[in-house]
Amino acid sequence: MKTIIAFITALLGTLGASAQTKTTDTIISQELTEIVVKAPKVIRKSDMDVYHPSKSAVENSKNGMQLLRNLMIPTLT
């Protein structure tokens, strides 16, 4: 009886090891050489902050309210 249990345990261990084969990743990775982060220019004065929107923010806005949303200024309400 012990030999049968040992045989089944060894057989299952062998099957489990062969079932866990490593699959290769099919997604091709690409390394970025440079990342550019653009933000609106801010001039800090004693009583206010003056924001100059980027050209792309102006081009992607239909009106002034959308331009303000595109600037994503966290303290702007």
Q: What is the pLDDT of residue 1?
A: 63
Q: Do the Cβ atoms of 8 and 1 come closer than 8 Å? A: no
Chain position carrying tokens 């331009």: 67
Q: Which of 2-6, 36-40, 68-72 has the lowest mean pLDDT?
A: 2-6
Q: What is the pTM of this model?
A: 0.40
Instruction: Give the up-direction half-sphere exposure of residue 77: CA atoms within 13 A in the CB hemisphere.
Output: 1
Q: What is the pLDDT of residue 2?
A: 66
Q: What is the pLDDT of residue 25?
A: 75
Amino acid code (one letter) for 77: T
For 11-56, how does the pLDDT look when each residue is reduced to its tens digit (9 = 90+)?
A: 666 555 554 567 777 888 888 889 887 766 788 888 888 888 888 8
Q: Do the Cβ atoms of 49 and 40 come closer than 8 Å? A: no
